[in-house]
Amino acid sequence: MHDDRSLVEDRLRRVLDDRVRPAVYPESVPLDVAVWHAPGEPVPVAEGLAAEPEPITAGTRWGAPWGTSWFTVTGTVPEEWAGRTVEALLDLGFDGSMPGFQCEGLVHRPDGTPVKGVNPLNQWVRIGAPAAGGERVRLHIEAASNPVIFGPHPFGPTWLGDRETAGSEPQYTLGRMDLAVLDETVWHLVIDLEVLGELMAELPVDSARRWEVLRAVERALDALDLQDVGGTAAEARSRLTGVLSSPAAPSAHRISAVGHAHIDSAWLWPLRETVRKVARTAASMTALLEDEPEFVFAMSQAQQWAWVRDHRPEVWARVKKAVADGRFVPAGGMWVESDTNMPGSEAMARQFVHGKRFFLDEFGIENDEAWLPDTFGFAAGLPQIIRAAGSRYLLTQKISWSQTNRFPHHTFQWEGIDGSRVFTHFPPVDTYNCAMTGAEIAHAARNFKDKGAARHSLAPTGFGDGGGGTSREMIARAARLRDLEGSATVTWETPKAFFAKAAAEYPDAPVWVGELYLELHRATLTSQAKTKQGNRRSEHLLREAELWAATAAVRTGFPYPYEDLDRIWKTVLLHQFHDILPGSSIAWVHREARATYERITAELDGIVGAAQHALAGDGDRPLLFNAAPHARAGVPAGGAGPAAETGPRTSLTARDGGGHVLDNGLLRVEIDARGLVVSAYDIVADRETIAPGEAANLLQLHTDLPNKWDAWDVDSFYRNTVTDLVDVDEAGPGDDGASVRIVRSFGASRVTQVLSLAAGERRLLVDTEVDWHETEKFLKLAFPLDLHAERYASETQFGHVFRPTHTNTSWEAAKFEACNHRFVHLEEPGWGVAVVNDSTYGHDVTRAVRTDGDRGTTTTVRVSLLRAPRFPDPETDQGAHRFRHALVPGASVGDAVREGWRINLPERRLTGTDGVAPLVTVDRDAVVVTAVKLADDGSGDVVVRLHEAHGGRVRATLTTDFGATDVTATDLLERPLPHSPRLEDGKVALRLRPFELMTLRFRRGA
């Protein structure tokens, strides 16, 4: 037989595009349209419905950036359409692609009842099936004219990302607004031909199945009268029955489809718009569930569920019913799909506490899985947190975006720093926006790396990022792919059902140990510094507020602010969403975040101050309140008392050759005339810290224009050009006479630094203020160390993770920018160095062997301070910033832990009557208490969370001082675990494995 394959395939494309798809709606009449443009921010539904609209016609421009317009459409179903399926086609001016990234709307009935959302690929609203002739139609559309930020020329600077700068130019042109007859037979023919055409394209050319499908398609096309598609569609479909009913091979890959709309809680739109995106999507999905009995839809992020509950009660009622029916499924058990690299230990735990508790309280449902399809890499401490929250599974897709190395598994056990493991799945479809196309399904089956040992994968199906969800076309495709020869099989299932099957079939899944590092989006550790500083500061203020409020409640009867702390925690957790904390959202989002963090700071300072004054009393005795988990200046952790003397004062003298010398008897620091640290001598260890011929406190400026994803990415070639900022405007004694102040200018920016040594402490504090006005630049602060180490430690949640200092493999080379929390630590046997920070996350560590002199190793730690990308916020980080770092020579990893807490929890001083005894004390520094609080249930029980922080086994004793009568080990949600330690005479004996996390709940005596 002659090879006419291309001829038939080209014919299929032409006939589908030019004849069949246009015949889906064979008859239509225009609707009358009127519009009212709401002034300012969105208005309540009742106000939008009551407004007086003005007539508008198709082709008219409408919609200022970020505006809201209420369209009213009216019409009458023609009598001759009686008994047929009729739909309203509502085109607000959509681009045929990018659902969720442009204008969209929520359709309401005249009484305000929401119907469904409309977006570029979901423009229909069912009027009747069958319709009544002469029926009057009246619908209202709350339309959002959100501007296209990620447009045809992505990554270009735009001022559309903030209402304050976006202007008022109309963004959209009103399109078709019609009543139309839906020919369901033609619609199904379109799906038949699409599925078979896509299947053909994925089958081997020499396979019999491909040619069988080709011939069936040819016969169907022959049956179509192109002048009467509707009249011949049924016959065309009948000629496809055979190839559509041929079952899949027994060995076919099995795909669990779950309806999905990954909705970014903020990204290229502000938080307030996400509230509406979620409502539109939920309205559409609950409507679709009513029409499609096998369809299952999953939605993550408890915050988004709470928005629907609080802002759209009519949609919430439909959601609750669908949840009760098991069709609309809470997923993930987290407050938001957060970043997991940067949130601190307690914050990461609270993501699960608040997320899981919401779903339990609202629906009695507990999630077994963490659902994080789009998060930018996963910290090595996360498995323990997932397990401590009572969950067992993790789903993500993002690691498939890695640019250098292909991850070797799709289903595996992920082991964290303490040995905890979670069963993890990466959907091989390689998208969280699966449209159920043949190419996607075939890719999933081919791509699945665990063939032979496992055969199940998951496909999150629906439009996401900006919302929208699953379409009826996707469901129709899935129905044809349920059991189709040549394809993987597709079944709608909940995440719970998928994970149960996948885990059961793969009991010996391979193990991946350590972080799941995304080889992309590394600059999210630095972009939008004030957002990151607001997060870090809020996390530590929440620790203080809980600690002192709990202590004051137990000691004085102070009213514990349950509701305020709950609300503030949820706000902080929301801002850890994976496009807010990483700094990859529009200017509006970060402007609001800065204001939110300022309010949080003021409110938490108020709670802390009130609790401390209640504890201190009215006396005039100077007291130091120590919220850190280690003793400070003679004051125990979690207590208050008079500060002890810390040692001789620091001296400041002139340095030979220019500059200054700081000396406190423990550390002698030489700062040259350029304001650079050329020596940091550990007097106790008789050891130099700074590499020979090098200088620390060196600011370095790089050109930084990544190939794409400006706010997200820093590409490795940024290192090819660097400017050392060594010119100095001023360098002299600080105001206190025991520090050195340095001022530099470069470009349009200015840096002021103060270097100081505290009495009795072996750490050099580097206080850096930057007035930053650069563009597409990357600012680093370098510390070249005379230290040989093949690995270093970076703090992560409830411990630290080790990374290599070398680049032996492509996996190691790809980690050229990485995350730490409060410290990085490098060590030779018996002596180490820590670099601690109060608000930065990004850093790099490199090593070089000196070719002259001692041929020793220089290991350089560089902390990332600021960037200046122009997309999506063209003024990212412009303005004043302050960073605090400390160089700690002679530091063990325990010293690094302690100093990291110290710089993030400055001591508070006030006067009072007497000291305050801690509620709990622990007799080993390796055991770090991360939270002391009252139980969330209002019982008055004291909850203590702690972990082993040094990476070794430890025995310790925790002592209580509040009349505790019983202790229970709990999960993160403060629910009892099967085995608990004993409380004897107010003491608990602890035995912890490396990095083990433990939560203890103490009952108080009457």
- The CA distance from 19 to 12, in Å, is 10
- What DSSP assignment string belongs to 314-354? HHHHHHHHHHHTT-EEE-S-SSS-B-SSSS-HHHHHHHHHH
In this structure, is the dihedral angle defined by the CA atoms of residues 46, 51, 54 and 55, taken in order, positive or negative? Answer: positive
Residue with tokens 């959509």: 94
> How do 987-992 and 983-984 pair as beta strands?
antiparallel
Pairing of strands 411-415, 511-513: parallel
* Token pair listed for 643: 């500060």
Inter-residue contact 790 to 805 (CB < 8 Å): yes
What number of CA atoms fall less than 13 Å from residue 811's CA on the CB side?
Answer: 9
Structure tokens at 781: 């602060």
Please report, in angstroms and rounded to a whole number, the separation of the first and last CA atoms in the chain: 92
User: Rounded to whole angstroms, what are the CA distances from 32 to 35, 54, 733, 754?
Assistant: 10, 11, 76, 69
Residue 505, CA distances (Å) to 390, 456, 483 in order: 22, 8, 20
Instruction: Supply the DSSP string of 125-145, one letter for each residue.
Output: EEEETTPPTT-EEEEEEEEEE
- Contact yes or no for 797/344 (Cβ under 8 A): yes
Q: Which two tokens stand for residue 843?
A: 């850093």
Look at the alpha carbons of 178, 182, 188, 189 in this order and tell me if their dihedral is positive or negative: negative
Inter-axis angle of helices 587-616 and 562-574, to 10 degrees?
150
Q: Sheet harboring 411-415: ordered strands across?
A: 369-371, 393-395, 421-425, 411-415, 511-513
CA 890 – CA 121 distance, rounded (Å):
62
> 947: left (phi > 0), else alpha (psi -120 to 50), else beta?
beta
**Rg, Å, the chain Cα set:** 31
Q: What is the dihedral of CA 652, 653, 655, 660, to 10 degrees?
A: 30
C-alpha to C-alpha distance for 862 and 844, rounded to whole angstroms: 5
Residue pair 662/735 in contact by the 8 Å Cβ criterion? no
Q: In Å, how far are 381, 733, 836 from 952, measured between CA atoms?
A: 15, 43, 21
Burial of residue 21 (CB within 10 Å: 0-12, 13-18, 19+) is: middle
Q: Which residues contact 700 (CB under 8 A, 6 or more apart)?
A: 722, 723, 724, 725, 779, 780, 781, 782, 862
Whole-angstrom Cα distance, residue 1001 to residue 988? Answer: 12
SS3 276: helix
Measured CA to CA, the distance from residue 570 to residue 814 in angstroms comes to 34
User: What is the CA angle 396-399-402, rounded to 5?
Assistant: 165
Catalytic residues: 374
CB 49 within 8 A of CB 139: no
Pairing of strands 722-725, 698-703: antiparallel
